[in-house]
Amino acid sequence: MKNALVIARAIAVGCVLSAVVPIAAHHSLAAEFDVSRMVTVTGTITSMRWTNPHSWLHVDVKNARGQVEKWEIEFSSPNSLYRRGWRRTDLPPKSVVTVVGYPSRDKSAKVLSASDVKLPDGRTLFAGMPAGETP
C-alpha cells in the first residue's frame, strides 16, 4: 500500500512537470527580434558564455558619439555552434569581432540575435538561425 502511494505521487508530480514544460518551450526568433532588418556591430569581446539553450557573446561597441555601449549577442546552442565549425577558442576576450544580426524588438535594448560573425582571424562563421526557422 505504501509503495502504491509513492508511485501515485510520482505519477502526479510527473504530470505536473510535463504540463509546465510547454510553458518554458522555445520562442520563435520573430517573437523577440525584428527579422525584417539586420544590424552590424563591431566591438571588443568582453566575454562569451557557452550555455544552453543559447550562447551569449558580450561586446563593447563604440557608438557614433564615441561612447561605449554594452551589447549582448545571442547565438545558437554550443552544440549547434560546434557543428558549424565554432571552437571555444574562436572568441577570446579583448578581440575585435563584427557581428551581423537581427536587433531586439525592444529598441532600447542593445541585443542582437547573431547571424554571421567575422572572427579576429578573418573567418566568418554562421552563429544563429535563419529567420524562418525555429528549433
Write the DSSP string, the chain: -HHHHHHHHHHHHHHHHHHHGGGGPPPPHHHHB-TT--EEEEEEEEEEE--SS--EEEEEEE-TTS-EEEEEEE---HHHHHHTT--GGGS-TT-EEEEEEEEBSSTTS-EEEEEEEE-TTS-EEE-S--TT---
Residue 2: what pLDDT? 63
Does the N-terminal peptide bond of residue 103 adopt cis geometry, omega within 30 degrees of 0?
no
Asked if residue 112 has pLDDT above 60, the reply is yes
For 100, the grid coordinates are 551581423
Q: Tell me the CATH class for 28-126.
A: mainly beta
Q: Say if residue 6's pLDDT is above 80.
A: no
Cell of 29: 526568433
pLDDT digits (tens, 9 = 90+) for 72-108: 999 999 999 999 999 999 999 999 999 999 999 988 8
Domain boundaries, the chain: 28-126
The residue to which cell 571555444 is assigned:
88
31-35, 44-48, 99-103, 112-116, range with the lowest pLDDT: 31-35
Sign of CA dihedral 30, 107, 113, 25: negative
Mean pLDDT, to the nearest integer, of 53-69? 96
Looking at residue 129, its pLDDT comes to: 60
Bridge-based pairing state of the strands 68-74 and 111-118: parallel
CB contact at 8 A, 82 and 125: no
Higher pLDDT, 99 or 8: 99
Structure pTM?
A: 0.74
